[in-house]
Amino acid sequence: DGNVAFCWATNTESGFDFQTCGQNRRVPVDHDGLRLVSFLPVDESSSS
């Protein structure tokens, strides 16, 4: 089990792009053509 948030430089308005994989809290969100990162709330029931 693992998570990754991969970011790289590219020819976009923001100058970067990214992708996430796994069950992490980071969620890509499109905001008027600009990709931003939103965080899901912490799931207190699964904390150890």
Residue 29's domain comprises 4-46
Contact in structure between 28 and 19 (CB atoms under 8 Å)? yes
Provide the mean pLDDT of the chain: 83
Which residues on adjacent β-strands are paired with residue 37? 28
CA atoms within 13 A on the CB side of 1: 2
**pTM (2 decimals)?**
0.58
Contacts of 39 (CB under 8 A, 6+ apart): 25, 26, 27
Q: Is the pLDDT of residue 48 over 70?
A: no
pLDDT over 90 for what percent of the chain?
A: 8
**How many domains does the structure of the chain reveal?**
1
What's the Cα-to-Cα distance from 46 to each of 13, 36, 40, rounded to whole Å? 38, 26, 14
